[in-house]
Structure 1
């Protein structure tokens, strides 16, 4: 069985209220690649997803947000979810980890409201991202170029609009993560 991401560590950053399908579809696909995935959260023990119009399933938290470093991971997944993103935005640890990935040029995949977590002033350096309603001004102020496309790849950064785009988002993030892993192996 081909496992192109064997040995790669992927951080999934969530808090209670994350969009369950945006995390689980990517998680399922990434597990098949041999990658090691860690759910990192502000919550302890379990984190609760949001599914449709109600609370979803509980998922185990592998690491506390304040206890991890961006340098511990090769790739980053930022699912959406209004409640989750609002809570993560309040933490300096979120900015520290996301900032590390942006500065280091490591692969990041963000969907829906998760894109807001990339809005760290000065860190986006003219990266092109999907424009999500209500996020445009904040992302532009952080230096992003915004696109009306539903899915955008800018180097090793993948952004997508939301639930309708999950299959294409997952397919694209796999491609970008595979390519990044191959470049790293060749170096």
Structure 2
């Protein structure tokens, strides 16, 4: 993986995140040298979902009220069914995601997390993938859905499931190192 030394990455999540979809990027991106913060709605810790039952808790580094996209090079949005569904009704979370996009920074979402991209108005006209059960939601929001492991469109990275995490993390590093992205129509 490319070095991410000197880069800062936000992982936005709440209770019910898919365990591997938060923990793998967290460990992988930190190992590449990035300063990675788990950001959530409240301080303390958030509990993951591990396949078919509650998983482990992960400490929250910063609350959404205390951060700005200005301090980060990218945002990573883990999936799971519960996590993005809870976050997409939180206007502060959606505004935080939008601010990364408006600043032409990397936005990466996996599995069900493209629901957050739909809510933020980011998928329209973009090549996107997701977990197959939200394909129609992505298409209805104007996304150009692809059945691919990882899809990248000018700094927007999406991946369909936890089996694709290695390629997802590699693409995050590559896109961050490319710098800011123009947002021409897809």
Q: TM-score, normalised by structure 2?
A: 0.87
Does structure 2 retain, via aligned residues, the 8 Å contact 1:16–1:43?
no
How much has 1:124 moved relative to structure 2? 3.3
1:184 is matched with none
What SS class does the counterpart of residue 77 from structure 1 fall into?
A: strand
Paired residue for 2:143? Answer: 144
Give the conservation status (yes or no) of the 8 Å contact 1:49–1:57.
yes
Determine the structure 2 residue equivalent to 1:50: 49
Question: What is aligned with 1:40?
Answer: 39
2:18: which partner in 1? 19
Partner of 2:184: none
> Does the 8 Å contact 1:43/1:64 carry over to 2?
yes
Q: Deviations over 1:2-46 (max 9, x none)?
A: 983222211000101101111111111111222111110123201
Point out where structure 1 has 5 or more consecutive residues left out of the alignment.
182-187
1:68-116 deviations in whole A, cap 9, x for unaligned? 2222211000010111111111100111011111222211111001111
Aligned to 1:29: 28
Separation in 1, partners of 2:172, 2:4: 12
Residue 175 (str. 1) matches residue 174 (str. 2): yes
Structure 2 equivalent of residue 154 of structure 1? 153
Cα RMSD (Å) of the superposition?
2.1
TM-score, normalised to structure 1, is 0.86
Aligned partners of 1:99 and 1:120 also within 8 Å: no
**1:56-67 map, 5 Å:** 56-67=55-66
CA distance in 2, matches of 1:121, 1:10: 19
Alignment coverage as a number of residue pairs: 180
Q: Distance in 2 between matches of 1:163 and 1:173?
A: 15
Once residues 161 and 79 of structure 1 are traced to their aligned partners in structure 2, the CA distance between those partners, rounded to angstroms, is: 11
Cα 1:177–1:56, aligned 2, differ >3 Å: closer, same or farther? Answer: same
Structure 2, unaligned stretches of length 5 or more? 181-186
CA distance in 1: counterparts of 2:155 and 2:122, whole angstroms:
14
